[in-house]
Every structure is written in C-alpha cells, then in structure tokens.
Amino acid sequence: MHVARPHVDESPTDPDIAAVLFDRDTIAARVKSLAQRIADDWRAYTEAEHHAADLTLVPILTGSFIFVADLIRCLPMRLQIRLLSISSYPGPATTSRGPQVQAGLGNLPASLEGAHLLLVDDILDSGRTLAMAVDLLRQRRPASLRTAVLLRKDRPEARAFPVDYVCFDVPDVFVAGYGLDYNDYYRNLPDIVTLRPEVFSPSAPHENAPC
Ligand code: IMP
Ligand code: MG
C-alpha cells in the first residue's frame, strides 16, 4: 500500500534560522539518557521508601509539550500527567514580562496530597516561572517534588536556581524550536536553534500586533 509522506525536509521558516544549537539526534539521545537517570533515581527512591508509588509529571505549557511527549515515552514507571499553563513572553516579546498563570490551572487539582511530582519546563531563564510553579505545587502538599528542564541559560539567576535535572546548558541567547517559540511560531522545528535578527524586527512577516 502506498502511504503519502509529508514533506518535512524543507519548511518556510528554515530561512529564519541563524544556527542550530542542538540537532534532533542529539536531543533524542540526551532526552533518553535523562529519562534513564530519572527512572534510576525513581527506582532508588521507591525502594528506599519500601512502597510502590506513581509519578505525576507536571509539564508547564506551552513550551515543554514536545520535550515531555518524548520524555514520557522513555519512562517505564506508572505515571500520570497534570498540565500547568504559565506564560511570560506574550506575543513577540523576547524578554520576560513576568510569569502569569494562564487559563486557570490547566488540569491541576486543588490538592496533590501524597503525590510524587516531577515539574517539567522547556527553559530555565530568570527562574521566575519555575519559582511560581514550585510555589503553586507546594501549596497542594505533594509528598515529593522534583524539577526537570530541557534547557538552562548561562546566566547567574538560572545557574543559582535549584533544579534536579537539566538536559542542556545553552548560552544566554533567545532560542526556538522543539517546542520553544518566538511569537508562538517555530515550535515545530525539530532542532533547537537561534533565529536571524530580522525575525525580531517589527516588519517581520509573521509578527502579530504587539500586546
Ligand atoms: P523564566 O521565568 O525567566 O525562567 O523564563 C522561563 C520561560 O520563558 C520559559 O518557560 C519559556 O516559556 C520562556 N523563555 C525563556 N527563554 C526563552 C527563549 O530563549 N526562547 C523561548 N522561550 C523562552
Ligand atoms: Mg514556557
């Protein structure tokens, strides 16, 4: 049977890429090894506690959706997903406007008492988003809380912020792809990239009205 394949080799957004920081194969390998570490730590933790427990992943939307989709398929334990929607770069902003919880709390229940949580975000920049999310989760009284990020920027605030798992350290530049956006575009790029400066100019074709 003939199966039509989408053309994924070339995308209209390719000319907007300045450089590829991490390509898809490198990302896949690192996500797999991070999952292995999480699984090993989880096994050690549950063995030490002498009881079987479930893990609950809490991805911060929107940027972590591809990372978490790949990550959970490498995780062997029983797990659940609770979504949390926080945004700090509205529209075409490339500097944080301060994190805000969007659209209620995703599907986060009022109590997470006794739950073992793994909070997952795409990128640790100033640390304000993770700090807000950690605070929201701690109020729900989980039994344990760990944090994982795909990327950590090379800036003092990010390095000082305590996170349990980091896939990649990146320079302090604006990055996109593999779930990360600029103005809600580029999330579908399979690699993690930097963008050409023209993309950020007010006359750029994709730009929505600044909010
Ligand atoms: P923080 O609150 O300053 O740590 O910023 C974290 C949030 O800002 C992340 O969850 C991302 O959504 C967004 N963000 C920070 N840096 C970038 C970037 O370089 N590209 C795309 N989004 C970013
Ligand atoms: Mg985000």
The secondary structure of 32-83, three-state, reads HHHHHHHHHHHHHHHHHHCCCCCEEEEEEECCCHHHHHHHHCCCCCCEEECC
Query: Is the per-residue pLDDT at 69 higher than 50?
Result: yes
Query: Is the per-residue pLDDT at 7 higher than 70?
Result: no
Cβ–Cβ < 8 Å for 147, 118: yes
Is residue 181 part of the annotated active site? The answer reads no
Give the Å distance between the CA of 205 and the centre of ligand 1.
Answer: 23
How far is it, in rounded angstroms, from Cα 35 to Cα 46? Answer: 16
Residues 40-61, mean pLDDT to the nearest whole number:
89
How far is it, in rounded angstroms, from Cα 185 to Cα 207? Answer: 9
Check the CA dihedral 154-118-175-69 and report its sign.
Answer: positive
Sorting pLDDT into bands at 50, 70 and 90, what band is 47? confident
Query: Is the per-residue pLDDT at 136 higher than 80?
Result: yes
Percent of the chain whose predicted confidence (pLDDT) is above 70:
86
Give the Å distance between the CA of 17 and the centre of ligand 1.
Answer: 18
**Relative to the CA of 175, which ligand 1 atom is closest?**
19
Residues 32-56, mean pLDDT to the nearest whole number:
90
How far is it, in rounded angstroms, from Cα 36 to Cα 53? Answer: 18
Is the CB of residue 89 below 6 angstroms from any atom belonging to ligand 1?
Answer: yes
Give the Å distance between the CA of 5 and the centre of ligand 2.
Answer: 31
pLDDT tens, 74-110?
Answer: 999 999 999 999 877 667 777 766 776 665 556 788 8
**Among the bound ligands, the one closest to the CA of 175:** 1
> What integer pLDDT is reported at residue 2 of this predicted model?
63
Q: Is 166 exposed, middle or buried (0-12, 13-18, 19+ CB in 10 A)?
A: middle
Give the Å distance between the CA of 86 and the centre of ligand 2.
Answer: 6
Residue among 41, 54, 125, 172 flagged as catalytic: 125
Residues 116-137, mean pLDDT to the nearest whole number:
96
- Global pTM value: 0.88
Is the CB of residue 59 below 6 angstroms from any atom belonging to ligand 1?
Answer: no
CA atoms lying within 13 Å on the CB side of residue 4: 2
Is residue 133 classed as helix, strand or coil in its secondary structure? Answer: helix
**Among the bound ligands, the one closest to the CA of 134:** 1
Q: Is 71 exposed, middle or buried (0-12, 13-18, 19+ CB in 10 A)?
A: buried
Cβ–Cβ < 8 Å for 151, 124: yes
Pairing of strands 192-195, 17-22: antiparallel
- Ligand 1, pocket-test mutation among 96, 130, 181, most atoms within 8 A of CB: 96
